Chain A
């Protein structure tokens, strides 16, 4: 799809297998399984705390998943930096606000894409938390 100048990515089976080994090591060395969505709950808690500390302290779900920086929080931050390094060293970094496949179907309007991404994110995270995933 579309990107002519960009070098081909790694074989997905190889990268997937290496990720599997990484997970095994993580469970062994740190006792941690991979996850990301709890971090969004803690993040939302941090944001809400700046408005009302007392309210967050009384909410059942934030008592369960307290706003704090933990292993998973740093794991999610790490994903960002790992991607920056990989993209920067492979000429595949692209500052782009509308993905190609989206543009082909819905046009180049950035606001439209932003609205769908926001709404999609809201729905996806609600579902992920309901499923405890």
Chain B
């Protein structure tokens, strides 16, 4: 029960911030894919950088656990490419489609129905995918510092520097 309340409140704050930053609407998402307006990339990457520092800090203090997904190149690459095609057609992300509906962009309803259909389709084809694509290049639960065999803070610092340089580039180009 607590879990459900945490979920609802966390989602509501997230949806509030997404809407306030104007990042959930079609025009913003597609403008990013067309390399015309990097607002959503600024938002996302800032979130990633801040969360990366905070979560690893808490992990070092043994207060939280990481949730590392399995790296399967077949699934990650082919799935990523397919997702990109669908995202460009839809113009909403799975989570933000609900937020887009919340600000009245009701074409997202068709996207939501489509995504339920896509999930159902995947459930049908899962046994086949498991035998094929999802066996290609399975590296297990790996991380960048893990592969390189270095302290995670080195990777974090490098990522933060790269992120800031990217942001500076966007601002200089007026993106």
Query: Chain A residues in contact with chain B, CB under 8 A?
Result: 1-2, 9-13, 15-24, 26-37, 39-41, 43-45, 47-48, 59-62, 69-87, 90, 92-102, 110, 113-133
Contacts and interface: CB of A to CB of B under 8 A. Distances in A.
Interface string B1-20: 01111111111111111111
B86 A117 contact: no
Please report whether the interface of chain A is mostly helix, strand, loop or mixed according to DSSP. Answer: helix
9 contacts: A12-B39, A75-B8, A86-B15, A87-B103, A102-B30, A121-B111, A122-B117, A131-B83, A133-B80
B147 to A, nearest CB: 19
A100 B30 CA distance: 11
Contacts of A44: 116-117, 119-120, 123
Interface of B: 2-27, 30-31, 39-40, 42-51, 54-55, 58, 63-65, 67, 69-70, 72, 75-108, 110-124, 126-127, 129-130, 133-134, 167
A53 B31 CA distance: 42
Contact of A47 (B3, B50, B51, B116): B116
A64 to B, nearest CB: 8
Given A19-B14, A26-B6, A122 B99 contact: no
Contact of A15 (B17, B49, B70, B112): B17
Q: Which one of A19, A21, A77 has the greatest number of beta carbons of chain B within 10 Å?
A: A19
B105 A122 contact: no
